[in-house]
Structure 1
Amino acid sequence: MTEPSAIVRRKDEHLDIALRQQAGGPSAFDELVLEHCALPELNLDEVDLSTGFLGWDFKLPFLISSMTGGPERGAAINANLAAAAEQLRIPLAVGSQRVALEGAAQAGIDARLREIAPSVPIWSNLGAAQLVQGYGADEARRAVEMIGADALIIHLNPLQEAVQPAGDRDWRGVLPAIERLTRDLGRPVIVKEVGYGVSAAVARRLHDAGVAAIDVAGAGGTAWAAIEAERIADRADRQVADAFQGWGIPTPRALAEVRAACPDLPLIGSGGVRDGVDAAKAIRLGADLVGQAGGVLAAALVSADAVVQHFDIMARQLAVACFSTGARHLADLKAVRILPRALPLHDV
């Protein structure tokens, strides 16, 4: 098992590299166009962005998704995110609590989060690989109780672990372990990928195991194999990791296919969501909430106000996208026609 101090160092390195990755660029969302409505017959000020999710009601369909870092910066980041979540009235998902559970450092993932954000959902986070290394309902309850969480996220990161030196290679028994948690924890269990997407087949297995929701977390955002490649000193190990540049199911495809496979399952769309227009496309493809982690990381390093401003801009962009498609409510947006950007020649 990796020493807790080594995990702390790794988390801080992850933060530095993730910040460098947020340079923008093309996205799979660019290949899709929401059909424009030149006669919306709407008042923009009356566009309603509210949504429900797992029994909660939110005025905005956004989730501050899981991110982490070393103790000093992690504490500041998490405090800023919690304060922003409380002001925006949106849920906050914390980064992995493995380090905190093993006693090395909490990086601000502690009871203070609930003090900062007393009235919005906070979701705990554990890695799926730990569920076959001795973690069970007791450890999950400790993670939940540590921050007064309302739900638990189990994150799936097999590719990251496979290319990471000393990563967790044995994933046998993860699905039954998740199923036991959904039965025994007494809180909703949400499962997410970390940036390579959930397929329709995996989503069906998770649905049948009793998970409350899935975050598809597709390719297009933070690329963990690339992050690990930057950290690897051994040349051969780095070449292994580098081969997975571009790997994964793009978020739009993952959303569409998982929604088709699990029509009634609450879904979160994350992975490469850059702005409110991408959020609109994610909602149209089946997302009930839209998550951002890397996209809001720079703001989180500045202040809670910077995070609030970031999401205020996203909300304005989403509202204009709804208005421009004739959608007064998000339910209307889900019915808007979506088109490929490139029109086949035979359709001209």
Structure 2
Amino acid sequence: MSTSRRKIEHLEHCAQRPVESKDVTSGFDDVMLVHRALPQINMDEIDLSTEIFGKELKAPFLIASITGGHPDTKPVNAALAEAAEEMGIGIGVGSQRAAIEDPEQEDSFSVVRDVAPNAFVYGNIGAAQLREYDMEAIERLVEMLDADAMAVHLNFLQEAIQPEGDRDATGVLEAIEEVCSLKVPIIAKETGAGISKEDAQMLKEAGVSAIDVGGVGGTSWSGVEVYRARESGDKVFEDLGNLYWDFGIPTVSSVLECRNYLPVISTGGVRTGLDIAKSLSLGAYAASAALPFVAPALVGKDAVVESLSAMLNELRVAMFLCGCGSVNELRTESKAVVTGWTKEYITQRGFDINEI
């Protein structure tokens, strides 16, 4: 099956079927922000602005990589990008591999920069594919978007579940190190299974500029592959996908694993502005989400803006109740309490609960 056809199948399954984690949550329910009964700030004057790699954002949020690589995905990326431009936030595209294989698919990605000339935009290529293409090809992906950064996604769980997946992970770290010589920052991005402190350390040493933890709790790409396998009548891969549906490190735990190594983007089950606030209080630099915007993007830009506006208003309320007038104050001065399964996990992993 072509990469282009697989991309539209992924989008359709995400839009039409339950694809989120089933029995393992992102961990946000285990996090409580310490309420300030005397916030002593004006909620209407709270400043959500921040910057990433020197580029100003009106809020610490990105629309995570969703799609591209098929003609039917172009209007979806256009709607998402128009909303990102209007809201002053960042946006990523889905894997640009399809555009390397078929240049006719380029405009399904380049439309993002066309309609969002001022937004922070990042490109995307799989770590497993880095060994297939030379640096010139990767540079073309950057130029395709006039990208401000490039994400290298680590999706080996999905590759293992996918019939056509690439299961050879040898040499990947060296390939990432090579791509870090690009003129733009490199974001190492998991896609639903999280990143550990051991891998964070190796990614830092390889020259990566930031980590998008992509933890368990949001979209399960193993789950998406279950539906593809079921449609093709492949019982072996359907069963494999079901077994590993919730495999990996939940988002909150992964943020805590990685925060001392590189700037962290909290992705995976971020569904509200309160989740964003909790992420930043725990040490994330920004947060992102994809699935909540798939259905709105199929409607159009205004529906995406409506969803984003609600989420950022929720963030503003959380900051007000924590007495934080700026994003930097939320990162450095707010207090959070971690309980339940997440506390047990991070304790067993050797983290000091009193340092959170």
Say whether the fold is shared (TM-score over 0.5). yes
Residue 202 of structure 1 is matched in structure 2 by 199
What is aligned with 1:46? 45
Question: 1:181 offset after TM fit, Å?
Answer: 0.9
Structure 1 runs not aligned, ≥5 long: none
Q: Distance in 1 between matches of 2:239 and 2:21?
A: 24
Q: CA RMSD in A?
A: 2.0
Question: 1-side partners of 2:21 and 2:47: how far apart?
Answer: 29
Aligned-partner Cα distance in 2 for 1:296–1:312: 12
Distance in 1 of aligned mates of 2:178 and 2:28:
36
Q: Distance in 1 between matches of 2:151 and 2:68?
A: 18
Deviation of residue 150 (structure 1)? Answer: 1.8
Give the aligned partner of residue 242 of structure 2: 242
CA distance in structure 2 between the aligned counterparts of 1:157 and 1:275, rounded to whole angstroms:
25
Q: CA 1:83 to 1:10, structure 2 compared with 1: closer, same or farther past 3 Å? A: same
Aligned position for 2:350: none
Q: Secondary structure at the match of 1:316?
A: helix
Tell whether the 8 Å contact from 1:15 to 1:69 is kept in structure 2 after alignment: no
Secondary structure, counterpart of 1:186 in structure 2: coil
Following superposition, the deviation at residue 111 of structure 1 comes to: 3.5
- Residue aligned with 2:198, SS: helix
1:11 corresponds to which residue?
7
Q: Does 1:117 align with 2:113?
A: no
Cα distance in 1, alignment partners of residues 135 and 20 from structure 2? 39
**Closer/same/farther in 2, CA of residues 339 and 313 from structure 1, 3 Å limit:** same
Secondary structure (helix, strand or coil) at the match of 2:287 reads strand
Written as runs of structure 1 = structure 2, the 5 A alignment for 1:185-334 is: 185-232=182-229, 233-260=233-260, 262=261, 265-334=262-331
Q: For 1:61, give the aligned amino acid.
A: P
| 1:86 and 1:117 in contact (8 A); partners too | yes
308-317 or 99-108, larger mean C-alpha shift: 99-108
After TM superposition, which residue ranges in structure 1, 4 or more long, deviate above 6 angstroms?
22-25
TM-aligned CA distance change 1:110 to 1:337, over 3 Å: closer
Counterpart in the other structure of 2:66: 67
Q: Is the 8 A contact 2:85 2:117 kept in 1?
A: yes
1:71-110 superposed matches below 5 A: 71-103=70-102, 105-106=104-105, 108-110=107-109
Rounded to whole Å, the distance in 2 between the matches of 1:292 and 1:57 is 19
8 Å contact kept, 1:65–1:93: yes
Unaligned 5+ runs, structure 2: 344-356
Q: How many residues align?
A: 335
Change (3 A) 1:17 1:85: same
- SS of 1:218's equivalent in the other structure is coil
Shift of 1:28: 1.7
For residues 241-268 of structure 1, the C-alpha deviation after alignment (integer angstroms, 9 at most, x for no partner) is 21112211110010012113x1xx2211
Q: Which amino acid aligns with 1:156?
A: L
The one of 165, 169, 172 aligned to 2:170: 172
User: How much has 1:109 moved relative to structure 2?
Assistant: 3.0
Query: What is the deviation of 1:308?
Result: 1.2
Per the TM alignment, residue 136 of structure 1 is displaced from its structure 2 partner at its CA by 2.7
Distance between the aligned counterparts of 2:339 and 2:70, measured in 1? 44
Query: 2: CA distance between counterparts of 1:24 and 1:246?
Result: 6
2:346 corresponds to: none
SS for the counterpart of 1:109 is: helix
Distance 1:110 1:278 in 2: 29
CA separation of 1:107 and 1:229: change in aligned 2, threshold 3 A: farther
Q: Distance in 2 between matches of 1:161 and 1:85?
A: 30
Deviation per CA, 1:242-301: give whole Å up to 9, x if none: 1112211110010012113x1xx2211111001100111111111111111112111111
From the superposition, tell whether residues 24 and 256 of structure 1 become closer, same or farther in structure 2 (CA, over 3 Å): closer
Change in CA separation of 1:111 and 1:241 when aligned onto 2, cut-off 3 Å:
closer
Contact 2:195–2:257 (8 Å) recurs in 1:
no
What is the CA–CA distance in structure 1 between the aligned matches of 2:321 and 2:308, rounded to whole Å?
Answer: 20
Show the 5 A alignment for 1:25-44: 27-44=26-43
- The offset of 1:107, in angstroms, is 7.0
Say which SS state the counterpart of residue 129 (structure 2) adopts: helix
Per-residue deviation, 1:114: 2.1
Q: CA deviation at 1:214?
A: 1.0
Q: Which moved more, 1:250-259 or 1:143-152?
A: 143-152
Separation in 2, partners of 1:104, 1:115? 17
> Residue deviations 1:144-194, cap 9 Å, x none?
1122212211100001001100210111000001101112x2111111001
1:41-71 deviations in Å (ceiling 9; x for gaps): 1111111111121111212111011011562
Structure 2 Cα separation of the partners of residues 43 and 324 of structure 1: 11
Counterpart amino acid of residue 228 in structure 2: R
| Aligned partners of 2:48 and 2:327 also within 8 Å | yes
1:163 pairs with 2:136: no
**TM-score w.r.t. length of structure 2:** 0.89
Does structure 1 conserve the Cα–Cα contact (< 8 Å) formed by 2:187 and 2:208?
yes
Does the residue aligned with 1:192 lie in a helix, a strand or coil?
strand
Flag the 1:24–1:41 CA change in 2: closer, same or farther, 3 A. Answer: farther
